[in-house]
Amino acid sequence: MPIASINPTTGEVLKSYAALTDGERSTKLDGAAAAYALWRQVPIAQRAAIWWRVAELLEQRSPELGAIATWEMGKPIAAAMAEVSKCATVCRYYAEHGAELLAPRPAVTQATETHVRYDPLGIILAVMPWNFPFWQVLRCAAPILMAGNVMVLKHASNVPQCAIAIEALLRDGGMPPGVFQTLLITTDQIEPILADPRVQGATLTGSEAAGQSLAIAAGKHLKKVVLELGGSDPFIVMPSADVERAVQAAVMARMQNNGQSCIAAKRFILHRAIASQFTELLQAQLFALRVGNPLLPETQVGPLATPKLRQELHAQVQRTIALGGTLLLGGDPAPYDASFPYGCFYPPTILTDIPHHSPAAQEELFGPVAALFTVDSLEEAIALANQSDYGLGASIWSSQAWEQQQGITELEAGAVFVNGMVKSHPAVPFGGIKRSGYGRELGRQGIHEFTNIKTVCTWE
């Protein structure tokens, strides 16, 4: 089965690749195993020097790399270049802090000397999504490789050019052959890789269904897994909040990456006292967004990544309306430009009066659709936020310290942001709970996920 790069704006097939054969896949793993034997012995300072160079290349190549992402998955070009530049921050973070994060940590026991060390495991499989085709890969690759592991990447099938570009980038930055390899493979080729005894773990960012599939395969072969899955993040706004500031953040938090982000704010839970004001401001700002060709710098919302994604999103919107929801804005998937009749565009959309059992309340809407709910108290807001099966991120907007603290304590999510939109940062762990996955990327916890946390006790 060919792996195709298809422009979601025009429908043009940009490039097509043949999936690796079983023999080619085996050869790639042989190369990874040979590379691991050498890479694990490379001093941390030398590994760091490579990541410093990769960071420089990312910033230098952001226009050309960003354009590849725009061609393959429709991200507006300004956002695509910003994503590439952000990748440089995670490279520099682990280059600067890797030695300290991996240093043995002393402990006190009955032994003369006790410490905990962090040794690499071997080959790690990364199964990555298309929505942030550079950031998602570098976010996990930097700590995993800095720790002395090697990586094989199975990227999403619709962004093969991004996957190839990442391998070339790391090679140009000085990464030895075999330390990082892109595998152009299909989904059914993942389990044979996990079954290989040299592969010691896997990390996946993607849908809940993809996570379940990988977790089953990894469990069968007793392999360590980190899963970062879907989200339906609540965005709670209380009467004490700066409503205009909250709306400005809400637009970015919902519409970034054409609404295709796991940590996007998806459920806006508004206290009744400010609900009308917030809704009016949000509607005006979403209506004003420029939708169109993502290669134009003025475009703010481009197409969804595939026709299937647009079809699924529209079906969720229509089912919500059929069950009693109200369409306040958008909801029409018609093309925005006659020159792009194929384009997978979906307009900024607002749903209100949402029934509890509807898709907008119970499912992840992966596109530019904001679901608005009205409540009468903070307790009701938190209860509604926690009714979701997901638990990736949450934000609460309030100037009252007690409201902020109650939200921090009671919201069921891997991250809680106060008066700010949820985002990832190299210095702090990132991941979720419940059906949003388990394990952590980034921060100290992220670099330790794929290490042998080894206890060492010595007696004289």
- Considering 262, 344, 364, 403, which one is annotated as catalytic? 262
Q: In angstroms, rounded to a whole number, what is the distance separating the alpha carbons of residues 125 and 150?
A: 9
Confirm whether 430 is domain-assigned: no
- Nearest 5°: CA angle at 322, between 317 and 324? 100
Confirm whether 431 is domain-assigned: no
| pLDDT of 1 | 59
Q: What is the pLDDT of residues 33-49, one digit of tens each?
A: 999 999 999 999 999 99
364 is catalytic: no
Strand, helix or coil at 287? helix
Neighbours of 21 (CB within 10 A): 11
Give yes or no: residues 225 and 237 share one domain.
no
Give yes or no: residues 35 and 105 share one domain.
yes
Q: Angle between the 160-172 and 135-146 helix axes, to the nearest 10 degrees? A: 40
How is residue 155 written in tokens?
A: 């990227």
**Element (DSSP H or E) covering residue 394:** strand 393-397
Beta carbons of 152 and 178 less than 8 angstroms apart: no
How is residue 333 written in tokens?
A: 């998937």
Give yes or no: residues 440 and 375 share one domain.
no
Q: What is the CATH number of the domain that holds 327?
A: 3.40.309.10
- Nearest 5°: CA angle at 121, between 442 and 20? 90
Q: What is the pLDDT of residues 48-68, one digit of tens each?
A: 999 999 999 999 999 999 999
100 is catalytic: no
Number of domains in the chain: 2
| pLDDT of 29 | 98
Q: What is the CATH number of the domain that holds 205?
A: 3.40.605.10
Give yes or no: residues 364 and 440 share one domain.
no
- Considering 228, 363, 403, 449, which one is annotated as catalytic? 228
Work out the widest C-alpha separation in the chain, in whole angstroms.
80
Confirm whether 124 is domain-assigned: yes
Give yes or no: residues 310 and 452 share one domain.
no
CB-count burial class (<10 Å; 0-12, 13-18, 19+) for 317: buried
Q: What is the pLDDT of residues 101-126, one digit of tens each?
A: 999 999 999 999 999 999 999 999 99
Q: Which residues pair with 457 in a beta bridge?
A: 114
Residues 6+ apart with CB under 8 A from 407: 236, 378, 382, 394, 396, 398, 416, 418
Give yes or no: residues 356 and 450 share one domain.
no
Give yes or no: residues 314 and 247 share one domain.
yes
The arithmetic mean of pLDDT across residues 379-388, rounded, is 98
Beta carbons of 141 and 93 less than 8 angstroms apart: no
Beta carbons of 134 and 37 less than 8 angstroms apart: no
| pLDDT of 352 | 98
- For strands 233-237 and 224-228, give the pairing: unpaired
Full residue range of the structural domain in which residue 342 is found: 233-425
Confirm whether 361 is domain-assigned: yes
Q: What is the pLDDT of residues 322-376, one digit of tens each?
A: 999 999 999 988 766 666 777 899 999 999 999 999 999 999 999 999 999 999 9
Give yes or no: residues 340 and 444 share one domain.
no
| pLDDT of 159 | 98
Enter the pTM of the model. Answer: 0.97
Closest CA to 451 of 433, 459, 436, 439: 439
Backbone angles phi, psi at 3, to 5 degrees: -105, 115
Give yes or no: residues 157 and 195 share one domain.
yes
Q: What is the pLDDT of residues 138-190, one digit of tens each?
A: 999 999 999 999 999 999 999 999 999 999 999 999 999 999 999 999 999 99
